[in-house]
Chains A and B, each alone.
Chain A
Amino acid sequence: MDRRIVITGLGVVSPAGVGAAALAEAVRAGRSAVGPITRFDASAYPCRVAGEVREFDPADGIRKDQTRYVRKMSKVMAIDIQLALAASNLAILDTGLPIGDPRTNEPVLPTVDHARFGMVFGTGFIPTELDDLAGPVQASRTDGRFSMSRWGTHGIPQMFPLWLLKYLPNMHSCHTGILWDAQGPSNSLTCSDAGGLLAVDEAVRILRRGAADRMLAGGAESRVNPTLLMRYCLLGRLATGGADPAAACRPFDLGRTGQVNAEGAAVLALEGLDTAQTRGARLYGEVLGTGCATTRAGIDACEADGRAVAAAVRGALQDAGAAPEDLGAVFAHGTAFEKQDQGEAAGLAAALGPAARTVPVTATKGVTGNMGAASGLADLAVALLLAKDGLVPPILNCERPDPRAGLAFVTGRPVPLAKDLVLATTHAIGGQTAAVVIRVTR
C-alpha cells in the first residue's frame, strides 16, 4: 500500500490578498481581484487589465534572522521569487511545526529532519526588468544605434553583479531552501500553467519513494510586466473587450474574449499521514491521486478534443482509486481563452462520462486572472478552505455558460459540496497537463 500523503499547510499570495483565506473568500463571494494595470503604464497595450498582487511582504511572520536574510536578498529577487518565498513562509507557518529560538541557536524547525525536507516548485522563465538594462543599453548606443561592441565595453560594466540570479527560475526553491534549511530533494519545474500541479505529482512520488519526510509543492509566477503582457498580446490570448476589468475574465462564458494575465504564488505543505498524525497536525486533506499527460498538437495549439486533459483526469482518478461520480467538484483550468476552454471542456466531459451531467465544475480565474504556475495549487487551497462550509464556489462572470460544453458549471452562487473528493486540473499552452484528486477534510 502506498504511503498516504496529507496536506498540512497552505500558503497563498494572490491578487485577492495575502493568505489562502483571502482568496477563498473572494472566490466564494464572486469578488473580482482583476483591475486596471497599475504596475506600469499599459496604455499602449490592447489589454490593460491584470490580476496584480498589491501588497505583500516576503518577510512577514518569520524569525528576525530570516527577516534579515529576506531584506538583504530581496533586491536580487524578481517579484516571482518574492511571491514564492511569501507563500512558502505562510505554508510552513501554517503547518504548526514548532519554530526554533534563534537566541539559543536552535534550528529554524527543530522537530524537522532538515535533510529530509524538500520542495518542488513550478516556475516560469522570468524576463528581466527593463529598468535593469536601461543604463547599460543607453551606454551601448552610438550614432543612435545599439552597438554590441559597446555593450561589451560600456554596457556590461554598468550591470549589477548578481543580475542573472535575480531571474533564475530555480531561485524560488533555492531561497526557500536557504530560509528554512530544507536540504532534501529540490526541483524547479518550468512547465508554465501546469507546473504547480505537476509539482504535487512529483512531490508525492518523492514522499512515497521515501526520499523525504515532508515536501513543499509550490508554484509562483508573475505575468504582470511589459514583456509578458506583450507576449500574450502577440499570441492573441488576452481578453480585450469590455470597460469593466472585473468582468474581463469569463471562463466558459459565451461572451469570453480571452485570458487575463496575473501573478501569485501558492504552496501546499505535504507529509505522510503517519508523521502528521503523530504530531497531531491539522489535516486539510489528503492527496489521493495525480495524473499527467501532454498535448501533442504543437506549441501554440489547443487540442479540440481535450485528449490530454481527459488522459490526465483519468490518470488522477485511477491513481486515486476513484470513479468520476465520486467527485464533489472539479476545479477546471478555465483560462477563458475560447479555444482552450472548449478543448478543456471536451476533455473533462470525456473523462467524466455520464457523471459530467452532475459533477459541479467551477473555475477561479474570473476572480484572479491566470496566475500561471500557481493556478492549480491556488484552486486546491480554495477547495480545501471552502470545504469547511461544504461549498463549491461559482465561476465568476460565467453568466451564459457555453451549452456545448455538456458540463455542470457552477454559476451565480455556490452549490453544496456533496462529496469529499475534489479534482483540479491545469495545462500549459501546447503541452504539459496535470490533474490532482484530493479528499477534503470538512
Chain B
Amino acid sequence: MRDEDLARALKADVDEILPSSGFVASVMEAVRLEAATPPPIPFPWTRAVPGLAAAVLALVAAFVVVVQLARTGVHSSAAVAWPPELVRAWEIANDAGLGWIVAASLLAFVCVRVAMRVAGARG
C-alpha cells in the first residue's frame, strides 16, 4: 500500500461517537462546584520565613560549634572562648526551648511540602 493510499485511508471519514445528552450539563455542574469551592489555603510563607531563617541560623551555629569542638578536642572544650553575647543568647534560647521550636518548625515544613507534593501529583 502506497503512502498516499495509507494517508487517504487514515484521513477518510472516521467513525465518531456522539456525546451523551447530559454531558454538557454534567461538565458545567462540575465546573460550578469547582468555582464555588474556596481556593486552597496557600502556605504562609511570610510567617514561616523568619522561623525557617532562625532554623537555618541555628543549624549553622550548631555546625560551627561542632567543628570548633572537633578542632580543639573534647578535653580542651572548656578553653573555647565564647563571646558573652552568644552565651547569653544561647541561655535565653535554651530556656525558651528553641531547639524544640526549630525541630517542630522543620518537621511542619517537611510535612506541608510532602502533602503539597502528593496533592499536586494527584490533582
Q: Do A and B bind each other?
A: no
B: residues with CB less than 8 A from A are none
